């Protein structure tokens, strides 16, 4: 089946893209009918996938996580920090509570892959002593150390000194980080206490979370289903109340997709602002040109702004995160689907309804119906992203060897099918994609990017927000992504355009799976998408726990 999908990609999307002469109407009609036929065919294809995977992953194999022992675990990290500052709770008690929670859920979810519990408890004791001493006032703590005493998590590819740093590669199974990543240093200065690392896919290069070092992470809403990737361990743990706040990275949707599948918030900042030192072998000098962006993952939108303020410390870019946003005065736009990319699954009806609910609400709030956009070049999102990712300083064939040579794509493909390759199937497929299919024309990519970005900038201005589905489907069964390899285009196009975007939960569908939308704005307008996230959280309830609450 996978070779058939790759062949379909070749036939449909590698034809010459030079300007075509005007076609007779009958040709355009034939093309339209053909597109409709393919859409129906792919809808049937999706149903077949879900049917057979559903037979394999049935309710008898599903596991359930228990509710929390402490009500504060349902609250935001900012709320926990306030209670610590006000001496309503001690940092030590909070850290110990989250350690106990991980013991409850990690055997089911497989989210946490390394811990520093002993050191975290010692740091919590020091945080409590600082409060007891009166050395810092509550006001000063709130301003300079907004997460004082709060435990946080991050993905295994984010360096924390002395902790595992394998990137999911078996060749690095015993590697540890020599120093903290810059984003971790910033969070420490803000008073946060890193206490666990979470699971990732191999080299962060897939939208499911599974690797040969740590295995597979499960979704807290349905353990037979994916958590997304690459920040899947983070999102799974946070949604299950195993951590109050996490730092992820987003190169093609790696913060927003897992947050969506796990029913929580995730923000991808405007690209090029936050120091990348210590993130999957990124260096500080990669910050401005890379598609990779660190960003917050959390249960409550209240945590997005304070975390962004911390991560922005030391940035060369001035980002206005303090000016209050009146959402009722914003202008809204929306895109309902992929706008014609035939490789991507048709959007599910419940996900489309979630988008339309959000569109209807903001229309009533502002008194102006949001404008529907159908950008003609939106369907080229994956091809543009694919080209840009090959311009990153890292090279997949080199990274897979732990930077000790290069991998031969056809040899590793043979080894995979004989069970002797140390790499995962997504890495093999990525090697095939990069080595077999033609590369995109740089001039064509530049033209598409300029056209898309120019149109969006003109439409959105400095007070416009675009609503768009985060993904075409709800959380699918484990491994089904191999048969839907291009569905992450809904998020990767935003990375290609280097725009800020916030994933916003929109409740659950009839199967108890999370729904969501992403809010997108022009560069450096992060405060707008975060404000919309806060507004929609108030309107639709935000995160719904994946367990029963009293």
| pLDDT value of residue 299 | 99
Quick one: DSSP state of residue 184? Answer: H
User: Are 96 and 214 in a shared domain?
Assistant: yes
User: Are 311 and 331 in a shared domain?
Assistant: no
User: Are 360 and 297 in a shared domain?
Assistant: no
Q: What is the DSSP string of 343-371?
A: TSPPPPHHHHHHHHHHHHHHHHHHTSPPE
Distance CA 497, CA 332 (A): 19
Identify the domain boundary among 316, 350, 375: 316
| pLDDT value of residue 20 | 47
Distance CA 501, CA 518 (A): 6
User: Is residue 429 a part of any domain in this protein?
Assistant: no
Residue 183 belongs to a domain with what CATH number? 3.90.1300.10
| pLDDT value of residue 24 | 60
Q: Which domain holds residue 505?
A: 1-6+325-390+439-540
Distance CA 517, CA 262 (A): 13
User: Is residue 17 a part of any domain in this protein?
Assistant: no
Does this model's pTM top 0.75? My answer is yes
User: Is residue 210 a part of any domain in this protein?
Assistant: yes
User: Are 308 and 352 in a shared domain?
Assistant: no
Token pair 């991507």 in the structure block, residue? 344
User: Is residue 252 a part of any domain in this protein?
Assistant: yes
Q: Which entry of 111, 157, 186, 254 is annotated as an active-site residue?
A: 254
Four-residue CA torsion sign, 473, 474, 476, 481: positive
User: Are 233 and 381 in a shared domain?
Assistant: no
| pLDDT value of residue 23 | 53
User: Is residue 518 a part of any domain in this protein?
Assistant: yes
User: Are 453 and 527 in a shared domain?
Assistant: yes
Identify the domain boundary among 275, 296, 316: 316
Question: What is the mean pLDDT of each successive set of 10 residues along the chain, which is 550 residues long?
Answer: 50 48 65 79 92 91 96 99 98 99 99 99 98 95 98 99 98 97 98 99 97 99 98 99 99 98 99 94 78 98 98 89 97 94 93 99 99 96 95 88 94 95 96 92 97 97 98 98 96 98 99 98 98 99 93
User: Is residue 153 a part of any domain in this protein?
Assistant: yes
| pLDDT value of residue 19 | 44
| pLDDT value of residue 535 | 99
Q: Which entry of 91, 155, 236, 379 is annotated as an active-site residue?
A: 155
| pLDDT value of residue 21 | 46
Contact 503, 260 (CB under 8 A): yes
| pLDDT value of residue 285 | 74
User: Are 362 and 309 in a shared domain?
Assistant: no
User: Are 305 and 331 in a shared domain?
Assistant: no
User: Are 138 and 183 in a shared domain?
Assistant: yes
Q: Which entry of 230, 235, 236, 492 is annotated as an active-site residue?
A: 230
Tell me whether residue 357 is one of the annotated catalytic residues.
Answer: no
Query: 33 preceded by cis ω (within 30°)?
Result: no
| pLDDT value of residue 85 | 98
Identify the domain boundary among 282, 316, 350: 316
Distance CA 2, CA 344 (A): 14
Q: b/e for 310-328, b at 16 or more Cβ within 10 A?
A: bbbeeeeeebeeeeebebe
Tell me whether residue 153 is one of the annotated catalytic residues.
Answer: no
Tell me whether residue 231 is one of the annotated catalytic residues.
Answer: no
Domain count, the chain: 2
Hey, what are 257's tokens? 């997709």
Hey, what are 244's tokens? 């109050």
User: Are 299 and 349 in a shared domain?
Assistant: no
User: Is residue 40 a part of any domain in this protein?
Assistant: no
Hey, what are 21's tokens? 């002469």
| pLDDT value of residue 4 | 53
User: Is residue 36 a part of any domain in this protein?
Assistant: no
User: Are 265 and 339 in a shared domain?
Assistant: no
User: Are 208 and 353 in a shared domain?
Assistant: no
């Amino acid at each position: 089946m996978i070779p058939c999908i790759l062949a379909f990609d070749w036939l449909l999307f590698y034809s010459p893209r030079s300007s075509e002469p005007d076609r007779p109407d009958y040709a355009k009609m034939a093309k339209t009918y053909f597109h409709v036929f393919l859409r129906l065919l792919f809808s049937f294809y999706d149903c077949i996938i879900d049917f057979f995977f559903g037979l394999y992953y049935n309710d008898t194999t599903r596991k359930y996580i228990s509710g929390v022992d402490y009500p504060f675990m349902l609250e935001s990290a900012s709320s926990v920090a306030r209670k610590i500052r006000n001496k309503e709770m001690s940092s030590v008690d909070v850290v110990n509570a989250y350690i106990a929670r991980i013991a409850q859920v990690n055997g089911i979810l497989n989210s946490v892959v390394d811990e520093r519990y002993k050191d975290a408890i010692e740091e919590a004791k020091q945080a409590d002593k600082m409060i007891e001493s009166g050395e810092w006032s509550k006001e000063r703590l709130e301003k300079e150390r907004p997460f004082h005493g709060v435990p946080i998590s991050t993905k295994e590819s984010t360096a924390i000194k002395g902790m595992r740093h394998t990137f999911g590669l078996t060749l690095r199974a015993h590697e540890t980080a020599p120093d903290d990543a810059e984003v971790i240093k910033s969070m420490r200065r803000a008073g946060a206490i890193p206490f666990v690392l979470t699971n990732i896919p191999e080299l962060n290069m897939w939208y499911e979370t599974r690797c040969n070092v740590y295995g597979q992470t499960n979704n807290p809403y349905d353990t037979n289903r994916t958590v997304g990737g690459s920040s899947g361990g983070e999102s799974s743990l946070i949604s299950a109340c195993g951590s109050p706040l996490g730092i992820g990275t987003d190169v093609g949707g790696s913060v927003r997709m897992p947050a969506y599948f796990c029913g929580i918030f995730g923000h991808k900042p405007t690209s090029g602002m936050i120091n990348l030192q210590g993130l999957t072998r990124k260096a500080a000098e990669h910050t401005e040109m890379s598609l990779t962006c660190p960003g917050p993952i959390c249960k409550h939108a209240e945590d997005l702004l304070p975390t962004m303020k911390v991560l922005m410390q030391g940035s060369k870019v001035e980002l206005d995160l303090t000016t209050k946003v009146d959402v009722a005065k914003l202008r809204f736009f929306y895109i309902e689907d992929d706008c014609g990319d035939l490789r991507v699954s048709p959007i599910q009806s419940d996900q489309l309804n979630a988008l339309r609910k959000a569109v209807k609400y903001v229309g009533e709030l502002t008194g102006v119906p949001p404008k529907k956009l159908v950008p003609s070049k939106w369907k080229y999102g994956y091809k543009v992203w694919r080209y840009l990712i090959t311009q990153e300083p890292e090279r997949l064939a080199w990274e897979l060897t732990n930077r000790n040579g290069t991998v031969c794509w056809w040899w590793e493909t043979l080894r995979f099918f004989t069970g002797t390759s140390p790499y995962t199937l997504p890495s093999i497929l990525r090697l095939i994609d990069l080595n077999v299919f033609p590369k995109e024309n740089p001039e064509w990519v530049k033209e598409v990017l300029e056209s898309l970005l120019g149109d969006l900038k003109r439409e959105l201005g400095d007070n416009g927000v675009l609503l768009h589905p985060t993904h075409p489907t709800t959380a699918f069964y484990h491994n089904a992504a191999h048969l839907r390899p291009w569905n992450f285009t809904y998020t990767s196009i935003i990375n290609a355009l280097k725009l800020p975007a916030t994933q916003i939960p929109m409740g659950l569908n009839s199967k108890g799976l999370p729904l969501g939308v992403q809010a997108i704005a022009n560069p450096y307008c992060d405060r707008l998408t975060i404000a919309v996230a806060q507004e929609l959280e108030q309107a639709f309830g935000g995160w719904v726990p994946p367990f029963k609450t009293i």
